[in-house]
Amino acid sequence: MLIKDKSDKLWYGFLAVAVVLPFIPGVIGGSFFGHVATMILLYAAMAQSWNIISGYCGQTSFGHSVFFGIGAYAASLAVVTFESLPWYGVPLGMLVAAVVSIVISYPCFKLKGHYFAIATFAIVEIFNRLFMIWDAVGGALGLDYPILPDGWKNFSWSDTKNGYYLGALVIFALVFSVVRWIERHRMGYYLRAVREGQETAESLGVNSTIVKLSAMALSASLAALCGSFFAQYNYRVDPPMVMSLDMSMKFVLITILGGIGTFWGPFLGALVLIPLQEYTRAYLSNLGAGVDLMIFGLIIIVVMIKQPQGIMGLIRYFTRKKIVREEGDA
């Protein structure tokens, strides 16, 4: 109970600080830091959505950019093609992503181990090529947003990032709250049981197929929600931008660096990798493309060699070491 209390204090304390930031003059507003902070929240939510199926349920997916892209295209089509509000496209994108995830996952879940992960690689390529030739969604050129009036109605701002930051914070809070609920309720036990041993879980009465499909549908719908925000923030969408292996790997790398299967891992991974990505692109672009990815790789290699459980593993290691030292001194 004490651990839960400490966890609650940390969670609500973080949210309180995050909510206050945009109201402090010059902190978020039109600053580059505001952009980076918004991206940290968004990518942390993206990674956490992937963490549900891959971290808690143990089903490694490299295809989450498909669901992310579905959400991005749903919001974009609502604005560009139907000249409506992005809000109409968001729930539709989440629903379509959930349905698509169930349809493609049901046969893939019959594959064991690495074969499931390989199948998800193929799914990304299939959807990427499909959207590249599909004229109704803009084909290879994608969809470019028109200039929209500023405000929450169109979820668009041209002179400040406060609105986008608060929107990303809401998505972050929603996704992480869902995972907090999973951790503390029966679904969390089912997911961990399937992860630790599907046959054993089934012998105890757990329907592993229903558990995995439910986790995938939830994970996909939350990834689609993040994709909708991404399209609004960038004012355009195309297949390589949202539905590619590069985007899928960001889901994976952020979570692994922070600590897969942990609550704070996706946030810690995003807190390290996203500022690195944005600042290297801004200030080291003269060195050529891919500098951020090379630094990504080096950081992940170093952390994985030291602690395979990522940053959360390092924190736990040093915390235990401190406790042992204090007990020894006592």
pLDDT at residue 309 in the model: 84
- Looking at the structure of the chain, the number of domains it has is 1
Burial 298-310 (b: 16+ CB within 10 A, else e): ebbeebeeebebb
Q: According to the model, what pLDDT value does residue 214 have?
A: 95
Stretch 252-256: mean pLDDT, rounded?
91
- Looking at the predicted structure, is the pLDDT value of residue 323 above 80? no
Q: Is residue 308 part of a domain?
A: no
| Mean pLDDT within 137-164 | 89
Q: Which of 209, 246, 87, 220 is nearest to 152 (CA)?
A: 87
Q: Is residue 250 part of a domain?
A: no
* Predicted model pTM: 0.91
User: Is 68 a member of any domain?
Assistant: yes
Q: Within a 10 A sphere around the Cβ of 211, how many other Cβ atoms?
A: 21
Q: How confident is the model at residue 285 (pLDDT cuts 50, 70, 90)?
A: low
Cross-strand pairs, 237 = 143
Within a domain: residue 206? Answer: yes
Question: Does residue 254 form part of some domain?
Answer: no
Mean pLDDT score, 106-115: 83
pLDDT above 50 for 110: yes
Do residues 231 and 242 touch, judged by C-beta distance below 8 A? yes
Query: What letter does residue 134 receive in the DSSP assignment?
Result: -
Mean pLDDT of 209-233: 95
Bridge partners for 236 per DSSP = 144
Domain limits for position 143: 2-244
Which segments of 235-264 does DSSP mark as H helices, in order? 239-242, 245-258
Residue 4 has pLDDT above 60, yes or no: no
Instruction: Flag whether 255 is in a domain.
Output: no
Contact status, residue 231 vs residue 72, Cβ threshold 8 Å: yes
- Determine, yes or no, domain membership for 198: yes
- What's the pLDDT tens digit per position in 85-108? 999 999 999 999 999 999 999 998
Evaluate whether residue 81 is within a structural domain.
yes
Q: Confirm if 188 and 182 have CB atoms less than 8 A apart.
A: yes
Q: Position 284: which residue type?
A: L
DSSP state of 55: I
242-268 b/e with 16+ CB inside 10 Å = b? bbbeebbebbbbbbbbbbbbbbbbbbb
- Nearest-angstrom CA–CA distance, 239 and 144: 13
Residue 72 sits in a domain whose CATH number is 1.10.3470
User: What's the pLDDT at 14?
Assistant: 92
Sequence-separated (6 or more) residues with CB below 8 Å from residue 143 = 73, 76, 77, 80, 81, 137, 236, 237, 238
